[in-house]
Amino acid sequence: MKITIIAAGKKMPAWVYQCCDDYYQRLPAQYQVATHEIALEQRGKSQSTDVTRTRETQRLLQQVPANDYIIALSENGDTVSTGQFAGRLDAWREQSKNITFVIGGPDGLDFSASVNGLARWPHWRCSLSALTFPHPLVRVILAEQLYRAWSVVAGHPYHRA
């Protein structure tokens, strides 16, 4: 199963990459994780937040591999338990689906944006929490939750709840 993570924002602090890589390396070989970053859209004085959000989202969507199941991380997405998230990840694996997580910039994602025939996206909007996190931390939380979800499905002792 290929998992692609596409995020707005480059040059994260070193600890973000170290934490994420640690969790990705713990996953078994059947889970291949690739990450792609795009630069944040530069907003001029006369450019609206909506224009910035749309342009950024279009550039993110250009990185989505064809035929992937697209999950947008959004504060307005579905909040699920660890068990529910693990169940979804396992179902996608069993269906041989490759998945892409899209993480927008500070202004969020434009769900009306379209590129490469992706007129209807995402397939699922997921919220990692009712709390709001800074984008570097979102990447680490997602990496940890992917590992935790695998540990739940595999019966690994990492998840003890």
* CATH code: domain of residue 46: 3.40.1280.10
Domain that holds residue 139: 2-154
Is residue 66 within 8 Å of 98, Cβ to Cβ? no
Indicate if the pLDDT at residue 119 is higher than 70: no
Indicate if the pLDDT at residue 22 is higher than 70: yes
Nearest to 103 by CA among 25, 1, 12: 12
Residue 118: predicted pLDDT: 63
| pLDDT 10s digits, 136-160 | 999 999 999 999 999 999 999 898 7
Give the three-class secondary structure for 20: helix
- Asked whether residue 160 is domain-assigned, the answer is no
- Whole-angstrom distance, CA of residue 96 vs CA of residue 77: 24
Query: What length does the chain have?
Result: 161
- Asked whether residue 161 is domain-assigned, the answer is no
Strands (E) located in 48-148? 69-79, 99-103, 124-127
- Asked whether residue 159 is domain-assigned, the answer is no
Residue 115: predicted pLDDT: 66
Specify the number of domains making up the chain: 1
- Asked whether residue 109 is domain-assigned, the answer is yes
